[in-house]
Amino acid sequence: MEHYELYMDEELVQMYRDGDERAVEAIMERYKNFVSKKAHAMYIVGGEMEDLIQEGMIGLYKAVTAYDKTKAASFMTFASLCINGQIMNAVKCQEKQPVKPLCITG
């Protein structure tokens, strides 16, 4: 994937849509630290940080598939919104789960 860093995000999105599977891998690699930082800014009670990061990566993939370059937003802006939304949905769903009581034995 050495030559993919030469492309802008929007170009990589188009390359993926044109059938280049490695282009989406390049985007995922490019944004993994960005996703991780966003995930670390949020918290799920009883959850795992890796779960939030995974949700963020799902949001990033959704951004790749839904991005419309004719709109005013850059891919990075759109991706940030998708990542945040996906992570926030995961947090909200987790918060709705009933709290399980601790079992005390002895």
pTM: 0.83
Length of the chain: 106
pLDDT-based confidence at residue 102 (cuts at 50, 70, 90)? very low
Distance between CA atoms of 12 and 22, rounded to whole angstroms?
A: 9
| 4-33 pLDDT tens trace | 999 999 999 999 999 999 999 999 999 999
pLDDT of the residue at 99? 54
Q: What pLDDT, in 10s, does the model give residues 28-85?
A: 999 999 999 999 888 666 668 888 999 999 999 999 999 999 988 999 999 999 999 9
Only one residue has tokens 């799920």, namely 44
